Structure 1
Amino acid sequence: MYKKLKIVAAVTTLMMVFVQIGGALVTKTGSADGCGQSWPLCHGKLVPADWPIETIIELAHRGISGIAIILVGVLSYMVLKMIPHKRETKFLVVLSIGFILAQALIGAAAVMWGQNDFILAAHFGISLISFAAVLLLTLLIFEVDTKFEAEIMAFGSFLRYNTIFLTIYIYLVVYSGALVRHTESSLACLSWPHCQPGQFWAMDFYQWVQMGHRALAGIVVIWIFIIMLHAIRHYSRYKVIRNGWILAFVLVLLQATTGMLSVFTLVNIFIALLHALFITLLFGLLCYFIMLLSRTK
C-alpha cells in the first residue's frame, strides 16, 4: 500500500541527509564563498567561468538543497492527500516545509549579506528539524508506529521527561558544535580530552567554544547511558524502546569518537562528515521517541 508514496518518502529522507552532510562539507571546506555574494546565481552568472573546488561544493549544495525543497513539497502534498487521518501528519508537514524554507533563506542571506557566526550556527540546527520532520513522516508512511503497537505502550515519568529534556539539550549541543565550525575553533585545542599539553581548560574565546562543546557533549554521553540502562531494566517488553536506546547510545559513542578523531586528524573531512551524520541520525531517533511518547498517557 502507498508504494509511490513510500518511494518518494525514502528518497526525500535520503536527500535531507545529503543536505545535512553537504552543509557540513561547505563549512568544513570554507566553500560558503564559492560563488561570491551571488544567489541564486554564481559570481553573477548562471554558469560561472571558473570552477575551483569551493565553487563546485557550493553549487552542489545549492542544487541538492533545491531538489530537497521540491521533494519535501511533493511529499507534503502526497501525505496530505493519502494519510491525512494520521494525527501527526499536518504538524509534520508544516515543520518540514517551514524549516527547510527557513534554512534556504538563512543560507541565501549569508551569501548575499553575510551573517555573524552565532546566526550561521543556527543554520545546521534549523535543517536538522526539517530532516527530523521528514523522517517522522516517512516512518508514518511505512507504518512503523503500528508495527510496534505504539498506542498500547506505557511510559513512566522518568523516561518521558528525560527523553524530552535530552532532545532539547542535544539541540543546544548541536548549536555549540556548529559554533565550533563557524568560529573556526575546531583546532583551538589540539589535545583530547584536555585542551593542550600542560593546559587542561580553555584560555581564550576559541578554546572556550571548543572546550564548552566537549563538556556539553560529554554530558550527553553520560545522560544517554543512564537512560539506556533504565530502558533495558524497565522496558525490556518494548523492543522498540529497549533496542532504540541501545542504538542511541551506539550513535552517541560514534559521535563522540568522531569528535575526538577530528582533533587527532586535524579535522579530516571524512571524519567531520561522519560527525555530522551521526548527530543527524541520533536527533531523528530521539524525535521518534517523542512521537511515541505523544501517543501515550
Structure 2
Amino acid sequence: MALVNLVGFLDTQTNSALGCGPDWPLCNGQLIPNLNNEHVLIEFGHRMIVGGFALIATIFMIWAWIRYRDWVEAKVFAIIGIGFIIVQSALGALAVLFVNPPAILALHLGFGFLAMVGVALLAAFLWQMDRLADGQQAGLQYRSLVLPKGLVWRIWIVWVYTYLAIYLGSYVAFRSAGEACTGWPLCNGQVIPPLYGNIGLDFAHRVAAIILAILVIELLWQLRKQKSTRPDLYRGAGWLVIIVFLQILTGANLALSHLGTGPYLLHVGNLMLLFTLISYLAVQSLHPVPKAQRWMAEPQSNIAPKGEPRHP
C-alpha cells in the first residue's frame, strides 16, 4: 500500500493524473493504451498498481478477519483497510471523470494514508500474534499494562494533529502553492511573510511541521517515566522524533530543489513512515479488549503454534 501511495504521489507530481484522459476505467478509450507517452505510462501504471494491490490487500484482510475472528483488532484494522481502499478508489475515479477542487483531491491522498495504515497495523498485529504463539514477548502484551489517561490523550492528539498536517500538505500541493515560499528556512526572505493566499498556505504548512516537532518532543519527555514499563512506547516515541526531524529536512530539501521529483518522493515516503509509526503508537496506547486479555493470560493453551488453527 505504501507503493500505491508513492506511485499516486508520482502521478500528481508529474501532472499525469489525466494521462488517460477523462476516461475510467478505460484509458484513452482503450483497455490497454499506447504507452509511448510518459504521462499515459505513469497514470496507467498507477491504475494497474492500485487495482492489483487493492485486490491482494483485500484478500489478505478477509483471510485475517476469518482466521482471527475472535480478535477485535483484526476486524477493525481490516475494516479500516478495505473501507478506505474503496473510498480512495472511488475518489480517484471521480477525480478523473470530474473536475474536483483541491480540498477533495487532498482527501483522496489522506484516505490513501488511512488505507495504508489499516493494512500496516493488521500486519503488525499478526506479527505480534505469531510471537505470542511462540511464547515470545510481543507488543500486544504491553497493552495490558495500565497507562495514565493523560498519556493516552497526548498520543491520540499527536495522531490527529499529524493527520491534519498531512491534509494541509496535500492541500498545499494540489493548490500548486508548494513554491509560494521560496528559500528555506525563511519564506521569501522573511521570518513571517504576508499571511494570505498561497504564501500564507505554504507558510502555514511550515509552521505546522514545527508544531509537530514540538509535540513529539513533548510526548517523548512525558513517556520517559514509562521507559521501563512501556519500552514499546518510549522507543517508538524516540524514533518518531527522529523521523519528524527527517521530515523537516526532506521538506527543506524539497523547497531548495524547487519541488524536484526525487526530493518530493523522498519527502512523502518519509511521511508515510511517520504516519504509520504514530498510528502504531496510538494503537499501543489502548487497553486490549477483555477477550484479548484472557487469551494473553494463557497464551500456550489458547494460541496454537504457527501453521495450526487457533481456537477461542
User: Structure 1 length normalisation: TM-score?
Assistant: 0.90
Query: Residue 95 of structure 1 is aligned with which of 74, 80, 83?
Result: 80
Map 1:1-297; keep pairs closer than 5 Å. 16-49=1-34, 51-143=36-128, 146=132, 147-148=138-139, 149-198=141-190, 200-202=192-194, 204-295=196-287
Deviation readout 1:188-222 (Å, 9 max, x if unpaired): 11122221025731354111111111111110011
* Partner SS, residue 46 of structure 1: coil
Structure 2: gaps spanning 5 or more residues: 133-137, 290-312
In 2, Cα distance between the equivalents of 1:282 and 1:170? 9
Structure 1: gaps spanning 5 or more residues: 1-15
Q: Is the 8 A contact 1:224 1:248 kept in 2?
A: yes
Q: Is the 8 A contact 1:180 1:186 kept in 2?
A: yes
User: Structure 2 length normalisation: TM-score?
Assistant: 0.86
1:272 maps to a residue whose letter is: Y
Query: Could you tell me how far 1:281 is from its partner in structure 2?
Result: 1.4
Q: Is the 8 A contact 1:37 1:112 kept in 2?
A: yes
> Whose radius of gyration is greater, 1 or 2?
2
Q: Could you tell me which residue of structure 2 aligns to residue 8 of structure 1?
A: none
Q: Is the 8 A contact 1:255 1:279 kept in 2?
A: yes
In 1, Cα distance between the equivalents of 2:176 and 2:263? 16
In 2, Cα distance between the equivalents of 1:283 and 1:199? 28
With over 3 angstroms needed to count, the CA separation of the structure-2 counterparts of 1:197 and 1:143, relative to structure 1, is same
Q: Is the 8 A contact 1:155 1:296 kept in 2?
A: no
Query: Could you tell me how far 1:269 is from its partner in structure 2?
Result: 1.2
Q: Is the 8 A contact 1:231 1:241 kept in 2?
A: yes
Q: Could you tell me which residue of structure 2 aligns to residue 11 of structure 1?
A: none
Query: Could you tell me how far 1:50 is from its partner in structure 2?
Result: 5.1
1:168 maps to a residue whose letter is: V
In 2, Cα distance between the equivalents of 1:198 and 1:184? 21
In 1, Cα distance between the equivalents of 2:170 and 2:10? 12
* Partner SS, residue 143 of structure 1: helix
1:222 maps to a residue whose letter is: I
Q: What is the identity percentage for the equivalent residue pairs of Structure 1 and Structure 2?
A: 27
With over 3 angstroms needed to count, the CA separation of the structure-2 counterparts of 1:289 and 1:203, relative to structure 1, is closer
Query: Could you tell me how far 1:168 is from its partner in structure 2?
Result: 0.7
Query: Could you tell me how far 1:34 is from its partner in structure 2?
Result: 0.9
Q: Is the 8 A contact 1:195 1:202 kept in 2?
A: no
Deviation readout 1:91-137 (Å, 9 max, x if unpaired): 21111111011001101100011201111011111011111111111
Q: Is the 8 A contact 1:154 1:296 kept in 2?
A: no
